[in-house]
Amino acid sequence: MTTDTYLANGNEVQLFERAYRRRIPVMLTGPTGCGKTRLVEHMGLLLGRPVITISCHDDLTSSDLVGRFMVAGGDVRWTDGPLTKAVKAGAICYLDEVVEARHDSLAILHSLTDHRRSLYLDRAGEVVTAPETFMLVCSYNPAYRSSLKELKPSFRQRFATLAMDYLPPDREAAVIVAETGIALSVAERLVACADALRNADQAFHFEPPSTRALVSAAQLVADGANEIEAAEACILAPLTTDGGIHDGLREVAAGVFVTPNQAH
Amino acid sequence: MTTDTYLANGNEVQLFERAYRRRIPVMLTGPTGCGKTRLVEHMGLLLGRPVITISCHDDLTSSDLVGRFMVAGGDVRWTDGPLTKAVKAGAICYLDEVVEARHDSLAILHSLTDHRRSLYLDRAGEVVTAPETFMLVCSYNPAYRSSLKELKPSFRQRFATLAMDYLPPDREAAVIVAETGIALSVAERLVACADALRNADQAFHFEPPSTRALVSAAQLVADGANEIEAAEACILAPLTTDGGIHDGLREVAAGVFVTPNQAH
Amino acid sequence: MTTDTYLANGNEVQLFERAYRRRIPVMLTGPTGCGKTRLVEHMGLLLGRPVITISCHDDLTSSDLVGRFMVAGGDVRWTDGPLTKAVKAGAICYLDEVVEARHDSLAILHSLTDHRRSLYLDRAGEVVTAPETFMLVCSYNPAYRSSLKELKPSFRQRFATLAMDYLPPDREAAVIVAETGIALSVAERLVACADALRNADQAFHFEPPSTRALVSAAQLVADGANEIEAAEACILAPLTTDGGIHDGLREVAAGVFVTPNQAH
Amino acid sequence: MTTDTYLANGNEVQLFERAYRRRIPVMLTGPTGCGKTRLVEHMGLLLGRPVITISCHDDLTSSDLVGRFMVAGGDVRWTDGPLTKAVKAGAICYLDEVVEARHDSLAILHSLTDHRRSLYLDRAGEVVTAPETFMLVCSYNPAYRSSLKELKPSFRQRFATLAMDYLPPDREAAVIVAETGIALSVAERLVACADALRNADQAFHFEPPSTRALVSAAQLVADGANEIEAAEACILAPLTTDGGIHDGLREVAAGVFVTPNQAH
Amino acid sequence: MTTDTYLANGNEVQLFERAYRRRIPVMLTGPTGCGKTRLVEHMGLLLGRPVITISCHDDLTSSDLVGRFMVAGGDVRWTDGPLTKAVKAGAICYLDEVVEARHDSLAILHSLTDHRRSLYLDRAGEVVTAPETFMLVCSYNPAYRSSLKELKPSFRQRFATLAMDYLPPDREAAVIVAETGIALSVAERLVACADALRNADQAFHFEPPSTRALVSAAQLVADGANEIEAAEACILAPLTTDGGIHDGLREVAAGVFVTPNQAH
Amino acid sequence: MTTDTYLANGNEVQLFERAYRRRIPVMLTGPTGCGKTRLVEHMGLLLGRPVITISCHDDLTSSDLVGRFMVAGGDVRWTDGPLTKAVKAGAICYLDEVVEARHDSLAILHSLTDHRRSLYLDRAGEVVTAPETFMLVCSYNPAYRSSLKELKPSFRQRFATLAMDYLPPDREAAVIVAETGIALSVAERLVACADALRNADQAFHFEPPSTRALVSAAQLVADGANEIEAAEACILAPLTTDGGIHDGLREVAAGVFVTPNQAH
């Protein structure tokens, strides 16, 4: 539905392509909504490989990844999971928010990420060797630093890590205009509001607003909302549930927006 | 059974409609009983879309949301869960008290709440893309601030947040009269009692009385109870199990009600 | 086996009946053995409705409440749970010690306790709307104040709360005589012993003796035991396992009973 | 194999019989090995009722108690558990070490221990009312005072509690002689050793030696072991795994036994 | 494969035999690798009874011990577990490292270890009484003193406890020579190294080296390794993962071994 | 795909072979990526035995290791797990990262690692004795010192422990050249960077870079990336998610690399 509008922020496209050619797994890091998923989709189009996405969560078992025996018509048949399908198809397998996965489920990836490039299906009694075009990509947001949910260093070292960040203001405004059709001046004010909040992040310790949140605000403006109520709903309100911090952030954002009737 | 008597408190109806048109998921926040569920039902009627409600709790698995394989007549057949049904029907899917859900169950919503607007049914091997009329709405009460049960910021940013609150006193009294048929003066005294308690909330740290509780009290009065025993049963008694605080609250409420025989 | 001998302690019968007529769920609170279960049975007879009792415990799943699919003769058939049966029969459904239930199981009650008065059977794909005669009654003992097991305030506000307490001494003695046939003077000494212990509750922090325990002691006396050994077995011994407190309580109780050969 | 050699220590046999006639459940308390299980077996013979014993542990589900559906020859049939069998047979049902049970499993006993005397088999959809001869007996050792494993006061109040203790020295020696055939003088020295340790219990906080342990030591002596090695193996060694306390206990026990060649 | 080379360290063989004749269960305690398993195997040969060994771990259910219903060819048949098999065969049942077992699984042993000597198979509805030749033996290492994993005192008192320890140096060296064929002087140096470390145990708090570890080191020497690398691999390296303690232990061991070319 | 290029670092190949001949299980310890897995594969080729690898994780049950009953065509058939297969085939069974396994799953290994060399399949009712060529090898990284995940000393003592470490710089550079074909000077700079970071390990407490990570960086350089961006992606970025430490490490690494256009 959305056309491929990925705007590179650094050398991430080049390095990704090199890792692909050299069959090195890639780890994408960076804040929420900085474009990690979009980069993977973009690289899939660029490299001509399908992308199979797996949203990680802490109930994801290794069976969910590799497959399981299932009963059908009285018979018990092995059914490949999305990871096994991706390996067999030589696809790009994308594990989104990999840090959320149960770490024991990740052990299944070890033999895929070293010189073996193979998947051991212990229960099916099969070993699947990845074709050259198979690539494993993971992503996570290092800003969540919970001791329970750290990826093991030995796991991280299996990947080439591409550290991503927000787009620079002018590119971010351009993305917003391209996706919503609002005036550039409105987009620039939304970006200025977001940047003010991102800079305040150190003081308040919240997750800063993503480009996706700015696009949502711009959508509401495009539909007739005024800039302040749109920014309140999509940028400020989701940041925190602490009343005091919320007031502080509102002050940070204040001054960016003009009065409602000046919008557009 | 009840006709649609939603009374808007601010710009929530307009913003909800804009989010619907722009396909932005909506998060409703606010205290218990301030009308979040009623707003969703009202918007369903207004937008002409069915509302599919899912009460969240921490045993809700992603299979409960999207569906599972079930055995019927010897065969194993996939059965859609309420979320999948809502996506296919282009309905409004309402996740009530979403903060209660296991957060790993919520990961299934990620691809529905960004540009993909799709549901990945890994186990069924199917991808369902949402029609334009599908809308995801969640609600929670930010007053419960347990560290175990915070929604992740990256999750909250996927939604336009509409912050709701209690109705102003005159509108709340009007709703009570409309739903129970008691005299306006009684309704006003019940609202005055509730407001006194809501203002005392800072000092006592309890969940303030909801409009729903006032309606229950009014029902008992309509049935012949005196105002004081009705307020005791429906407004004061449920607030706390701590005897000392209970006495404090009773004092706060005192003076609002006249002697029993003066009611009506 | 026992005839209906409920003796009201206040306005609880009247308020219960009003809540029934207005279709407001009722929450009974009060110490163990003060008559909550008896009130519900009494009201069932008075209102002419069957009572379906569910003893809550923390392994009670929502499937235990609403029903589940079961295999019978090769087929998989939905089987209603006791809550669903109660809703369909328009019965009084009594959840005893509701605070013991897993709180996620209680979420299923939300739609039954607001204006919807409906039960959503997600797994069966059915919505059951309660007939006018259906009533939900819960009970718990607020004296257990564990942080793990507090009912959520938003849950408590869905009910009209009837706070119950022990019977006054003369009525309690009358109940004991009616149920066991012992002499009134013995019943009065047992009640005096219990009241001495109930007043000592503040100092020793134990669960005070219930009317049920007094009836048991009276039964032993009626069978030939002397009052002191009966009171020791049924009233004092169950109160605490702490030797020091036990000695303190025995002193509190001393002086109430005459020498064994003076009993009857 | 063993004949019924129960020696009463107080009024426990009389009170047990009275509770049986009045249909009051009985709770036996006392230290390990003081004869609780023997009393129940003795009363079963005396009252002419079979005893069905259930050893409680924290994996005992309510299904283990009441029964479950089981598949047999393609059919699904309900199979009564030992509690249901005991109720139907009008037997004495003995829950040994009831404090070890999961407390949610005990909720099933509530309706059996008040005026209802009925077992609600929710899953089988059946209500079983106990015949007059059915009796519920539980036991536990109050010396284990873990906060996780306290019986709820409201549960304890459903029972007449018979507090048991070790036999007085002369009776205990008589039991040892009767069960092993060793000389009375040896039995007296073993009891003296145990009593020295039981009195030291306050200082060292260990579980004091049971009559059963003395009988085991006497068996070894009867087989040719000397008194000191028998007492070491059966009385001292099991008391503690802490070297320092063990040496202290050995001193407490020293002086009781004469030199090995003086035994018998 | 190995012949029976058990060397007694004290009166353990005699006491074990007496307990067997008197049908008293036996508990073996002592450090890892001091010969507990070998004693049981030795006694099996001596008494002419088969030994059925069960390695305990905290996932061992009581069903794993006593048996379960299993589906075979459409039928559901009860299958005895190893404990039930041992009881029926009148074998010696050896529960190795019993402290590792889930304590609720151990409750099944209660009726086997008192005067009843019976196994209650609740699910199969069967009671199996042990023949005279059945004997229950358990073992554990009391050096692991975790509060989570203490055996209950009432459980320990059901057994005659035989406290075992390492062999004296000359016997241990003789065992090593007998099992590996190396020169006595080498075996003595390995034992001297182990004893130096065992004496250092108080200071460093590690699990001291077992006879088994010495035999492994001797095997490597017999295969051509020098004494120092063999002792490093089999005696020192497994003791600790803490670099500082490891260096301390190496110093303790130093001086025992001569230069490599002096070995044999 | 990769030919066998194992370069020994000490006496590990010789000791491994001796342990194999003497049937002593081997434990490999050392930092991530120092060559433990490669040594096992190398020894498999050298000794002419197949290697069966099991990646340990804390969801690995003993059934996953030894096998389970599975339904196939209506029948229930036992299916050997990888450990049982390895025992029967007389293969080298390699448990990678054994410290990650649930410790109760490891209990199944006890009888395989002492004089019995047998696997007890309790559920299948079978005992499998290992042929002479069977060897058990485990590995773990002692740098992870979590109290939850320590191997028990008694378990470690069942193995001869071979402590491994990184290759010396010249050998490590040679491996990098052999695997990627980059110039020796580039490989030497990558090794120098890694060694600078490994020496800084004491100060910063992170998992130092592995040889595998250096090979990945070399692959990117071979594909056209400059040394600095390759080292950033594969060596520095995976080390830590802490911004401050990351800056410190970058300084440590600085000075090693020349300007980009000087590479090759």
Distance between CA atoms of residues B53 and A165, nearest Å: 37
Asked if E44 reaches chain F (Cβ–Cβ under 8 Å), the answer is no
Distance between CA atoms of residues A230 and A214, nearest Å: 9
Q: Each residue of D149-192: pLDDT tens digit? A: 577 777 888 899 998 888 889 989 998 999 899 999 999 999 99
* Nearest Cβ partner for C237 among D114, D152, D163: D163
The secondary element (H helix, E strand) that includes residue C137 is strand C135-140
Judging by DSSP bridges, how do beta strands F26-29 and B26-29 pair with one another? unpaired
Distance between CA atoms of residues D193 and D208, nearest Å: 11
Q: Cβ of B235: how many Cβ atoms within 10 Å?
A: 25
Q: What does the pLDDT average to over D54-61?
A: 76
The pair phi, psi for residue C169, each rounded to 5°, is -45, -45
The pair phi, psi for residue F122, each rounded to 5°, is -50, -45
**A16 interaction partners in chain F (CB closer than 8 Å):** none
The pair phi, psi for residue F24, each rounded to 5°, is -105, 130
**D18 interaction partners in chain C (CB closer than 8 Å):** 220, 223-225
B32 contacts B209 by C-beta, under 8 angstroms:
no
Q: Which pLDDT score is estimated for D262?
A: 47
Can you read off the two tokens belonging to residue E243?
């670099």
Q: Each residue of B7-54: pLDDT tens digit? A: 777 788 999 999 999 999 999 988 877 889 889 999 999 999 999 988
| CB-neighbour burial class of residue B126 (10 A; exposed 0-12, middle 13-18, buried 19+) | middle
Find tokens 């060559």 and name the residue: F35
Q: Outline where DSSP puts E strands in F101-202.
A: 118-121, 126-129, 135-140, 160-163
B56 contacts B101 by C-beta, under 8 angstroms:
yes
**What residues contact E63, with CB distance under 8 A and at least 6 apart?**
E81, E123
Asked if C81 reaches chain D (Cβ–Cβ under 8 Å), the answer is yes
**D60 interaction partners in chain E (CB closer than 8 Å):** 104
Asked if F156 reaches chain E (Cβ–Cβ under 8 Å), the answer is yes
Hey, are the CB atoms on E158 and D212 less than 8 Å from each other?
A: yes
B228 contacts C27 by C-beta, under 8 angstroms:
no
Task: Output the CA–CA distances (angstroms, integers) from residue D113 to A232, D56, E73, in the order listed.
Answer: 59, 18, 44
Distance between CA atoms of residues E175 and C85, nearest Å: 73
Hey, are the CB atoms on D33 and E107 less than 8 Å from each other?
A: no
Distance between CA atoms of residues D31 and F20, nearest Å: 54
- The region, left, alpha or beta by phi > 0 then psi within -120 to 50, assigned to residue A131 is beta
Q: Which pLDDT score is estimated for B147?
A: 39
The secondary element (H helix, E strand) that includes residue B246 is helix B243-253
Question: What residue in A sits closest to B111 (Cα-Cα)?
Answer: A55
* Nearest Cβ partner for F207 among A74, A123, A153: A153
Hey, are the CB atoms on A157 and F32 less than 8 Å from each other?
A: yes
Model-level ipTM above the cut of 0.85: no
Q: Which pLDDT score is estimated for B259?
A: 53
Task: Output the CA–CA distances (angstroms, integers) from residue B175 to A254, C18, C115, in the order listed.
Answer: 36, 21, 13
Q: Which residues pair with A126 in a beta bridge?
A: A121
Give the long-range contacts of residues D153-156, CB within 8 A, separation 24 or more. Answer: D153/C32, D153/C206, D153/C207, D153/C238, D153/C239, D154/C32, D154/C33, D154/C141, D154/C207, D154/C210, D155/D103, D155/D106, D155/D109, D156/C238, D156/C239, D156/D27
Asked if F241 reaches chain E (Cβ–Cβ under 8 Å), the answer is no
- Residue C72: is its pLDDT beyond 70? no
Hey, are the CB atoms on F24 and E219 less than 8 Å from each other?
A: yes
Hey, are the CB atoms on B154 and A55 less than 8 Å from each other?
A: no
- Residue A29: is its pLDDT beyond 70? yes
Q: Which pLDDT score is estimated for A201?
A: 64
Distance from CA of E5 to the nearest CA of D (A): 25
Q: What does the pLDDT average to over D212-218?
A: 91
**D250 interaction partners in chain E (CB closer than 8 Å):** none
Q: Cβ of F61: how many Cβ atoms within 10 Å?
A: 15
- Residue D11: is its pLDDT beyond 60? yes
Q: Which pLDDT score is estimated for F183?
A: 95
B218 contacts B263 by C-beta, under 8 angstroms:
no
Distance between CA atoms of residues C149 and C98, nearest Å: 10
Q: What does the pLDDT average to over F34-47?
A: 90
Find tokens 């080439």 and name the residue: A160
Distance from CA of B112 to the nearest CA of A (A): 12
Give the ranges where A48-92 is alpha helix by DSSP (H): 62-66, 82-89
Q: What does the pLDDT average to over B128-154?
A: 79
- Residues D209, D213, D214, D215, Cα dihedral to 10°: 160
Q: Which pLDDT score is estimated for A136?
A: 97
Hey, are the CB atoms on B157 and A212 less than 8 Å from each other?
A: yes
Q: Write b or e for each residue in A177-204: b if 16 or more Cβ atoms lie within 10 A of its Cβ, otherwise e.
A: bebbebeeebbbbbbbbbbbbeebeeeb
Judging by DSSP bridges, how do beta strands E135-140 and E126-129 pair with one another? unpaired
Asked if C24 reaches chain B (Cβ–Cβ under 8 Å), the answer is yes
Q: Which pLDDT score is estimated for D254?
A: 75
Q: Which pLDDT score is estimated for A143?
A: 67
Asked if E153 reaches chain D (Cβ–Cβ under 8 Å), the answer is yes
Distance from CA of A160 to the nearest CA of B (A): 24
**C102 interaction partners in chain B (CB closer than 8 Å):** 59
Asked if A68 reaches chain F (Cβ–Cβ under 8 Å), the answer is no
Q: Which pLDDT score is estimated for F59?
A: 67
Whether A contacts D, i.e. 3 or more CB pairs less than 8 A apart, is no
User: Angle B153-B154-B156 (CA atoms, 0-180°, nearest 5)?
Assistant: 60
Asked if F158 reaches chain E (Cβ–Cβ under 8 Å), the answer is yes
Distance between CA atoms of residues B30 and B27, nearest Å: 10
Asked if F2 reaches chain A (Cβ–Cβ under 8 Å), the answer is yes
- Residue A1: is its pLDDT beyond 50? no
Hey, are the CB atoms on A122 and F64 less than 8 Å from each other?
A: yes
Most C CBs within 10 Å, among D114, D157, D158, to test the C interface:
D157
- Residue F9: is its pLDDT beyond 80? no
Q: Which pLDDT score is estimated for D222?
A: 92
User: Angle F82-F88-F90 (CA atoms, 0-180°, nearest 5)?
Assistant: 100
Subunits next to F (3 or more Cβ pairs <8 Å) are A, E
> CA nearest C154: which of B221, B248, B144?
B144
Asked if B247 reaches chain C (Cβ–Cβ under 8 Å), the answer is no
Least confident of A93-107, B54-68, C165-179, F62-76: F62-76
Hey, are the CB atoms on C97 and D107 less than 8 Å from each other?
A: yes
Whether C contacts F, i.e. 3 or more CB pairs less than 8 A apart, is no
Q: Which pLDDT score is estimated for C1?
A: 38
| CA–centroid distance for B113 within its chain | 21
Largest CA distance in chain C: 69
* Nearest Cβ partner for F15 among E1, E71, E225: E225
**D70 interaction partners in chain E (CB closer than 8 Å):** 69, 76
Distance between CA atoms of residues C108 and C86, nearest Å: 14
Asked if C70 reaches chain D (Cβ–Cβ under 8 Å), the answer is yes
Q: Each residue of F119-161: pLDDT tens digit? A: 988 767 788 999 999 999 999 887 654 434 577 777 888 899 9
> CA nearest E194: which of E245, E115, E249, E244?
E249
Task: Output the CA–CA distances (angstroms, integers) from residue E52 to E55, E59, E103, E172, in the order listed.
Answer: 10, 19, 20, 27
Hey, are the CB atoms on C21 and B74 less than 8 Å from each other?
A: no
SS3 F50: coil
Q: Which pLDDT score is estimated for A106?
A: 84
| Average pLDDT value over all residues in chain F | 82
Q: Each residue of C13-35: pLDDT tens digit? A: 999 999 999 999 999 988 877 88
| CA–centroid distance for A196 within its chain | 23
Distance between CA atoms of residues E161 and F108, nearest Å: 26
Q: What does the pLDDT average to over B123-146?
A: 82
B97 contacts C155 by C-beta, under 8 angstroms:
no
**E58 interaction partners in chain F (CB closer than 8 Å):** 104
Largest CA distance in chain F: 69
- Residue B148: is its pLDDT beyond 60? no
Distance between CA atoms of residues E173 and A209, nearest Å: 72
SS3 F26: strand
